[in-house]
């Protein structure tokens, strides 16, 4: 049988004193080592069960007083053993090896770093090719800029981007270049070529190809039928996502006119229309609909896409701009979530004459791969919005080029003369390369160009009269190479032949443009090349360094800075100045920059 005896306050105090004495008795080495001593909590106001056995009856008045002395000795021994047990326990608690064993799991702080689920498509850099083996290079143009602003977001957060997040052509095409405008609208764009030294390799030359579309003022744009397709799922519940998204779309809505039509479709677990089509000048109604949006639930992106296209078809404006603008982090998790199935859905819908623009938001779960590929499949363009200033650039300052397509399925094909060029490499455009036969096939989809858009492509080439070669000549193909060069010798002043194909926005048959590139166009001194040539080369060098710098020799971020600073040129909106600051920050974050500085220091000694 057991009885419950309350522990008196005096015994609790005595226990506390004993514990404190033991802890103060720690060795000096423990104290000097800053060992953290964990005090034991003493539960107050509680009772402890004590067994009523023969020893507990020592103080009972029913026992003879002649036996009190014996029992007192036993009680003293018991007290001694208890004190010794407390000392051993205290030593264990102050030992560094077990000092955390007594802590509750609730008191241990979990890791605070969030899991990064951002999705990027893997691709390898374009390889160097021998002209004798592959004299023709074919690719689709690309006007997307999402990679640059996404990379900027990552770097400004204090991190270097993963290589797959860097698409060099999108970094180059983020910036506008002062190419001449086409002479008239019968040909929708002009073509400019320039050639000079390669900043990162003195043994090669850089071929610069620039395209400039004819421009249209915002007031002269055709009537627009725009459907804002907004992701309001739980993953968008952030000021940097839904908050920034609403502010961005408000900027665009304020540019609309009476003849334009705006509607808003939202999707989470399901989709629905929150604003039926209204005149573009009803700014208050559009703004109120955007302000009312809130995030929650799963993400059924496919259902939203279907609903948005259905509404756009309902309000279709013949001869006007008909476009769905998808704003999301791309984290689709219910409904149709298979990547290829989503692409097929958008490819089918583009046949209706409605284009798709994708605007990316957020971090942590961002799906760059999906956003870029959906825009390509939807005959549109892709931008990543990391700041309101970026929204201003894409949706206001460049509204004509973002919304109004002046040519579609634009392809570039370059044939190199083997008598003049021995090797070449296309910089960027890895996921835009086409087969040679695709150039003349009007069924093959390619990129679109908007009003006022500029598109730039760079080739690094090695001339035949240069001893420097990246690829050794094969022993058993020399005779064939000589015959090939002999055939091309009749055109020894021609470096390459440039062909472009494009379709008018509503046409199904393509048109051809051709232009000759001569060896006399090669500038022998880099300083004599234009600002656009040198600045685009600095951006190309920066992008290649972010991707590991496999072809940039000893070129580093300091070299990028020096080249960009001297080629900044006109910078109306400050984007080039921002690029220079971004490169400077990247150099500080990069370990290769530090090792380069150490090597230079050692070499100077």
pLDDT of residue 97: 46
DSSP strand pairing (189-198 vs 261-267): unpaired
**Do residues 360 and 146 touch, judged by C-beta distance below 8 A?**
yes
CA angle, 375 as apex, 371 and 380 as ends, to 5°? Answer: 150
Query: 180 — phi, psi (to 5°)?
Result: -65, 150
Q: Residue 604's CB: how many other CB atoms inside 10 A?
A: 6
Q: What is the mean pLDDT of residues 537-559?
A: 97
Q: Is the pLDDT of residue 291 over 50?
A: yes
Element (H, E) at 369: helix 368-377
CA distance 554 to 569: 26
pLDDT of residue 601: 45
CA distance 561 to 57: 90
Q: What is the mean pLDDT of residues 21-28?
A: 48
| β partners of residue 264 | 228, 275
CA angle, 389 as apex, 535 and 258 as ends, to 5°? Answer: 115
Q: Residue 106's CB: how many other CB atoms inside 10 A?
A: 6
pLDDT of residue 554: 95
pLDDT of residue 605: 45
Q: Is the pLDDT of residue 292 over 70?
A: yes
Confidence band (pLDDT; 50, 70, 90) for 100? very low
Q: What is the mean pLDDT of residues 114-119?
A: 83
CA distance 543 to 201: 16
Q: Is the pLDDT of residue 372 over 70?
A: yes
CA distance 403 to 458: 26
Query: 568 — phi, psi (to 5°)?
Result: -60, -40
pLDDT of residue 87: 66
pLDDT of residue 114: 65
Percentage of the chain modeled with pLDDT above 90:
68
Confidence band (pLDDT; 50, 70, 90) for 348? very high
Q: What is the mean pLDDT of residues 581-587?
A: 98
DSSP state of 351: G
Q: Residue 348's CB: how many other CB atoms inside 10 A?
A: 11
More confident residue, 290 or 592: 290
Q: What is the 3-state secondary structure (H, E, C) of 21-48?
A: HHHHCCCHHHHHCCCCCCCCCCCCCCEE
Q: Strands of 306-386 (E only): list them.
A: 321-328, 355-360, 382-384
Q: Residue 44's CB: how many other CB atoms inside 10 A?
A: 8
Q: Is the pLDDT of residue 124 over 70?
A: yes
Q: Average pLDDT, whole number, for the chain?
A: 84
Q: Is the pLDDT of residue 480 over 90?
A: no
Query: 441 — phi, psi (to 5°)?
Result: -95, 110
Q: What domains can be seen in the chain, in order of their start residue?
A: 2-105 (no CATH), 129-216+405-604 (2.60.40.1230), 218-403 (3.40.50.410)
Q: Is the pLDDT of residue 131 over 70?
A: yes
pLDDT tens profile 375-417:
999 999 999 999 999 999 999 999 999 999 999 999 999 999 9
pLDDT of residue 484: 54
């Amino acid at each position: 049988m057991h009885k419950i005896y309350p522990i008196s306050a005096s015994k609790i105090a005595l226990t506390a004193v004993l514990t404190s004495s033991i802890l103060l008795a720690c060795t000096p080495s423990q104290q000097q080592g800053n060992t953290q001593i964990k005090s034991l909590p003493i539960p107050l106001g509680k009772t402890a069960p004590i067994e009523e056995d023969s020893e507990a009856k020592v103080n009972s008045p029913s026992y003879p007083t002649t036996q009190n002395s014996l029992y007192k000795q036993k009680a003293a021994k018991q007290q001694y053993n208890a004190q010794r047990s407390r000392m051993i326990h205290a030593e264990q608690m102050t030992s560094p090896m077990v000092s955390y064993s007594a802590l509750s799991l609730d008191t241990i702080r979990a890791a605070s770093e969030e899991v990064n689920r951002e999705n990027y498509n893997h691709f390898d850099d374009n390889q160097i090719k021998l002209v004798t083996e592959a004299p023709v290079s074919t690719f689709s143009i690309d006007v997307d800029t999402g990679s640059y602003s996404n990379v900027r977001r990552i770097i400004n957060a204090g991190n270097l981007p993963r290589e797959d997040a860097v698409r060099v052509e999108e970094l180059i095409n983020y910036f506008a270049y002062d190419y001449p405008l086409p002479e008239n609208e019968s040909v929708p764009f002009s073509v400019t070529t320039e050639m000079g030294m390669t900043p990162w390799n003195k043994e090669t030359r850089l071929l610069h190809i620039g395209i400039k579309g004819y421009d249209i003022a915002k007031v002269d744009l055709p009537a627009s039928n725009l459907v804002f397709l907004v992701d309001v799922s739980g993953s968008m519940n952030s000021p940097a996502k839904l908050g920034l998204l609403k502010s961005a779309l408000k900027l665009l809505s304020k540019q609309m006119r009476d003849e334009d039509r705006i509607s808003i479709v939202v999707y989470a677990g399901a989709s629905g229309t929150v604003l039926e089509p209204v005149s573009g000048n009803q700014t208050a109604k559009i703004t109120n609909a955007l302000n009312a949006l809130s995030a929650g639930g799963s993400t059924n992106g496919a259902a939203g896409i279907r609903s948005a296209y259905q509404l756009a078809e309902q309000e279709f404006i013949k001869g006007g701009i008909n476009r769905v603008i998808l704003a999301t982090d791309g984290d689709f998790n219910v409904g149709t979530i298979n990547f290829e199935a989503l692409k097929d859905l958008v490819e089918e819908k583009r046949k209706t004459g409605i284009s798709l623009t994708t605007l990316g938001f957020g971090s942590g779960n961002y799906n760059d791969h999906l956003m870029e590929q959906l825009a390509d499949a939807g005959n549109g363009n892709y931008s990543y919005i990391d700041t309101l200033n970026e929204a201003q650039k894409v949706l206001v300052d460049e509204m004509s080029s973002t919304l109004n397509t002046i040519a579609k399925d634009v392809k570039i094909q370059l044939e190199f003369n083997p008598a003049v060029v021995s090797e070449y490499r296309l910089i960027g455009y890895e996921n835009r390369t086409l087969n040679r036969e695709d150039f003349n096939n009007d069924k093959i989809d390619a990129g679109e160009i908007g009003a006022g858009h500029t598109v730039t492509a760079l080739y690094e080439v090695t001339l035949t009269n240069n001893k420097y070669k990246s690829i050794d000549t094969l022993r058993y193909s020399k005779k064939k190479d000589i015959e090939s060069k002999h055939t091309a010798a009749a055109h020894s002043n021609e470096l390459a032949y440039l062909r472009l194909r494009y379709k008018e926005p509503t046409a199904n048959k393509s048109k051809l443009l051709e232009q000759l590139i001569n060896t006399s166009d090669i500038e022998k001194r880099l300083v004599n090349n234009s600002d656009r040539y040198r600045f685009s080369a600095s951006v190309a060098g920066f992008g290649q360094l972010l991707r590991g710098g496999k072809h940039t020799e000893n070129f580093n971020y300091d070299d990028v800075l020096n080249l960009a600073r001297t080629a900044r040129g006109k910078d109306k909106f400050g984007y080039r100045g921002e690029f220079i600051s971004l490169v400077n920050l990247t150099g500080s974050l990069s370990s290769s920059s530090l090792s380069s500085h150490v090597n230079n220091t050692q070499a100077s000694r």
